[in-house]
Amino acid sequence: MNLDVKNAILSGKTVLGIELGSTRIKAVLIGEDNTPIASGAHDWENSYVNNIWTYSVEDIWKGVQDSYQKMAADVKQQYGVTLQTVGAIGFSAMMHGYMAFDKDGELLVPFRTWRNNMQEQASTALTELFNYPIPQRWSIAHLYQAILNGEEHITNISFQTTLAGYIHWKLTGERVLGVGEASGVFPIDLGTKGYNQKMLNQFNDLIASKNLPWKLEDIIPSVLVAGENAGLLSEEGAKLLDVSGELQAGIPLCPPEGDAGTGMVATNSVAKRTGNVSAGTSVFAMVVLEKELSKVYPELDLVTTPTGNLVAMAHSNNCSSDLNAWVGLFDEFAKAMGMDVDMNKLYGTLYNLALQGDADAGGLLAYGYLSGEHITHFEEGRPLFVRSSDSNFTLANFMRVHLFTALGAMKLGMDILLKQEGVKLDQILGHGGLFKTKGVGQSIMAGALNVPVSVMETAGEGGAWGIALLASYMVNKADNETLDEFLNEKVFAGQTGETIAPDPKDVEGYEQFMKRYTKGLAIERAAIENLNN
């Protein structure tokens, strides 16, 4: 056992990060060198209730408490001590969505997650009004759609926030968000690092005729940048987080951030000309821009880094869910044949086969649209696999096309950035489940984007580690030390990653696939119209 680590735990020099992802809640405790020393995770799933993708409040707290308990148990088991305090805490979660509360702090309608695609009317109207892209996922689109729908709860809103903002508020009493998370609630003014005042006024004018008892700025959280203090863990908050009652109150919390911001931090891509791709249930690529884009593109979101620099984001709702379902089918087949196959081996074998397929996946076509896909303008989805009678139908090509299509919608958004806007990227960092099988997701991604793709050894740590680093930055930064400097010098110095450059054959093959993908969207449309759930 490492005595230095044990002493750091006892003296409160560790830092805790907890992130609520779409399928897993993870708690990561880091030591004085910013590397993970203990962790705990809780698996969960969204529910589809009354045509809304949601998670219940009970499930949210059960998951947060369980991941904390497992992390604390890991500390106890490894170091023989009970965790009672830490130097700082940070919370992160899936961005966007809609949580609206009344004056007593009660949730007015079930939490509406980013996955809901019912806000098209609001999204279109606000994008036009602001001349700024307002995707359906954004909190302001959810709010305006509820207003357009004439929902009764609207007049009773006292506070509206995101999932990360909600947890932070319950633990500290503070109604705040980090600027990266806030940039998915409402557009940010890059000069002030707060909400765009002109657009706030435009929105208030837009809804004036509804005679609501609030103005927008009264009900949304205030904005903080990375490094600022966002409040202290209250007595009630400590009991809510740690049901065993061991954790002490008074611990400082950093601004709550979205999973986009923590992904940038965990991959050290907060500087300009860097980018990262997070590929799991959904896939999004984020590129830190050197200047504003020439015009509004509905396929691209504009958000910010946790320090308030402009980021273009190509976000696709669907990535690996359908791919995982196919791997599950192969697992069922193996069991039916009397073979008990390790899932990691199964994934590894099937993914590696994809590298042996034809460059263009043999003329096959697939769409992994489990839910709607805003980049290609679908409100709902139907997973599809299609082939012509003369396509090269092999297992290698079958796996290759499913890996290809997992990135298809995102690729359309990235083409706007790289081809139309001429954005320069030195490299892009990959993280998330798609990159777990060494070299495979990386090669496919490099071919799709025609950019070198790197994967760091720490890529598996993900957003929980990213938010822990933001909390560490808040309490451990030197005077005037920027987040870029802190990450480069105190976290990633000397870290090696593996980089795969794009193979020209793969680039050409992927472009061939994209022609099929774009043409074949008519087939997806027909499936939605004729195959009702």
- What would the pLDDT profile of 110-131 be if each residue is shown by its tens digit? 999 988 889 999 999 999 999 9
* pLDDT value for 399: 98
Q: Are 28 and 464 in contact (CB under 8 A)?
A: yes
Name the 3-class secondary structure at 63.
helix
The angle subtended at Cα 488 by Cα 270 and Cα 257, nearest 5°, is 40
310 pairs with which residues across the strands?
304
Q: Are 404 and 513 in contact (CB under 8 A)?
A: yes
Distance from C-alpha of 203 to C-alpha of 521, rounded to nearest angstrom: 35
Distance from C-alpha of 26 to C-alpha of 254, rounded to nearest angstrom: 17
Mean pLDDT computed over 386-408: 98
Q: Are 296 and 421 in contact (CB under 8 A)?
A: no
Banded model confidence at residue 1, pLDDT cuts 50, 70, 90: low
Distance from C-alpha of 94 to C-alpha of 241, rounded to nearest angstrom: 19
Sheet strands (E) in 280-431: 283-288, 301-304, 310-316, 365-367, 384-386, 427-431
Query: What's the chain's Rg over C-alpha atoms?
Result: 23
Q: Are 309 and 290 in contact (CB under 8 A)?
A: no
* pLDDT value for 436: 87
Give the tens place of pLDDT for each residue, 410-467: 999 999 999 999 998 888 998 888 888 999 999 999 999 999 999 887 655 688 999 9
110: left (phi over 0), alpha (psi -120 to 50) or beta: beta
Distance of CA 352 to the CA centre of its chain: 26
Mean pLDDT computed over 494-504: 88
* pLDDT value for 458: 63
Strands 88-93 and 15-20: parallel
Global confidence as pTM: 0.82
Which residues, 6 or more positions from 157, have their beta carbon under 8 angstroms from its beta carbon?
A: 100, 101, 102, 108, 214, 219
275 pairs with which residues across the strands?
287, 428
By CB neighbour count within 10 A (0-12 exposed, 13-18 middle, 19+ buried), where does 398 fall?
buried
Tokens describing residue 270: 């907060």
Tokens describing residue 284: 């999004």
Alpha carbons within 13 angstroms on the beta-carbon side of residue 62 total: 8
- Whole-number average pLDDT of the chain: 94
Q: Are 305 and 311 in contact (CB under 8 A)?
A: yes
Q: Which of 14-18, 296-300, 311-315, 456-460 has the highest mean pLDDT?
A: 14-18
Strands 427-431 and 365-367: unpaired
